[in-house]
Structure formats: structure tokens, C-alpha cells
Amino acid sequence: MIQTDTLVHLFAGGCGGTAGAILTCPLEVVKTRLQSSSITLYISEVQLSTVNGASVARVAPPGPVHCFKTILAREGPRSFFRGLAPNLVGVAPSRAIYFAAYSAAKKKLSDVLEPDSTPVHMLSAAMAGFTAITATNPIWLIKTRLQLETRNRGERQMNAIECMRRVYRTDGLRGFYKGMSASYAGISETVIHFAIYEGIKRKLLQSRAHDRMGEEGAVKDISDFVAIMLAAATSKMCASSIAYPHEVIRTRLREEGSKYRSFFQTLVTVPREEGYRALYRGLATHLVRQIPNTAIVMATYEVVVYFLGY
């Protein structure tokens, strides 16, 4: 019974992650480009002719719309799906591992702590995040490297296999785990997200149950899943805004040949060279992508679990 339950959550998490990854990939590419230190691609030729290399980082970074137009003009529409292959390879197992670990941890902790309480949700989310990050970091590093690669329209682009060989040749096996420290720091975002999500969902479903009091054999309808999507979107917006700097730090650590070596060194270097606003570069694009992505993931997960009878 326990094995069947775990498989259901693995399958549901994989379905949700895959749906979200496909629909929001273009925004993911724009966000990653904005987070990187290589901003010269997006500065106009007029600006470049008057700015020397030492002060390029001080030039005001472009916005998401300008970045989007530049990628479209110079690299073509296919570039908006750079990194989708490793994303699809990684997102299903990552989400599956995450949701299965979250469900298992929540059941175990409910035997020790108050069932369905905020501490249970927060600890479960932290344990699930740690498990998923450790298992899938190499996939996300490859995805980030592919999204950061800039080629002009018509030029052959590096594929995932070539990228893996390049990482191994340059940095060895350790190279595949760059940025993992920032991902661990990002567990705080997951903890905040799930604590808020579970609280909102519980209140919404309690309210729905109260409205249906007296109805026999009441079942979930579309409004219940809309409520779940709203809960997921609201909680993710709050969590992402609070913990966003770890996203920028992680991208910098994963850049090829970058000067960034560790989480805290990057956390100090980026504000010193580019100002504190650089730690929030790409936040708007991140929220535009992450909120619908999270709503899609969580709603798909809940729908699959519900229809499989769990």
C-alpha cells in the first residue's frame, strides 16, 4: 500500500513538472540570461562603443522585453527553447522525487509532531528539497549552460551531450555540482512556499466544505482546483520574492569559466561590483514564469492524485 502510494505521488509530480516546464520554457531562458554576468550581448552597439570593458558591469542591465527581442532577432525563436531537453529529462524525476519525498516525510513527521501543522509542512519541504537537489543538480547545470550559450541565427548550437563532455573536460565530475550550495540555500524558498500553500489550501478547502455542508457524496469540482492554483500562485510569489537572490547566485556559479567560486563569495562580489539590485535582476520575469508554472504543477499534481484515488 505504501509503495503504491509513493508511486502515485511520483507519477503525479512528474506529470505536473513536465507540463509546467514545456509551457514556461521561453520565460526560463529570458530569466537565466538576465541573471548572468554576461550582459554585453544585450547592450546596444551605441553603448558598447562608449563603454570600456572594466565598466561594462555598471551599465544599466536590460529589461526582460529588450532581452526577449534581442534573443528573437539575433538567435531566432528556437533559442527560447534552449535547455528544454535536459529540463524535460530532469523535471519529471526531480518533481517526482520531490513530491514523493515530501509526501513520505509528511507522513513520518505527522507521527512525531502535530499532524498537518506548519512545522510538519516546513520540515517535509526542506527534506524533499534537499533530496531532489542532490539527485538532479547535474541536469540543471547542463540546462543553465545551454540557456546561457549565445549563437547567432543559423549557427549550430551545442547540444546536451557536447555540453556534458565540455563540463567534464574542463572541471571533471565536480563541475556537475556547481551551484548546488545556492540550491541548498534555495530550500528556504521551498519551505516558505509550502508552509503558505498548505495553510491557504486548508483554509480554502475548509471554506468549500462548510459551503457544501449537508450535501451527500460531495466531490471536488473545477472550482476546487482553481482554488488550489490560486493558493499555489500566491504562496510561490511570496516565497520567490523573499528568497530570489539565491537564483542569481546559482546562475553565476554555473557560468562557464566564471570568477565565482562559492555561495558567500558570490553573495559579496555581485553587490560590490554591480550593486544590490543585481541580486534581483530578472525577478519580474521569474515571477511571470514561476507563478503560472507553479499553479500548473500543483494543480496537475493534485488532479492526478485525486483521480487516482489518493
Distance from C-alpha of 221 to C-alpha of 216, rounded to nearest angstrom: 14
Four-way CATH pick for 2-307: 3.30.420.40, 3.40.47.10, 2.30.30.110, 1.50.40.10: 1.50.40.10
% pLDDT > 70, the chain: 82
* Interval 180-211: pLDDT, tens: 999 999 888 878 887 888 788 778 777 766 66
Q: Can you give the pTM of this predicted structure? A: 0.70
| Res 268 pLDDT > 90 | yes
Task: Give the burial string for 176-192 (b: 16+ CB within 10 Å, else e).
Answer: bebbbbbbbbbbbbbbb
Cell of 128: 524533499
Structural contact between residues 109 and 124, judged by C-beta atoms closer than 8 angstroms? yes
What average pLDDT does the segment 227-241 reach?
82
**Does pLDDT of 168 surpass 90?**
yes
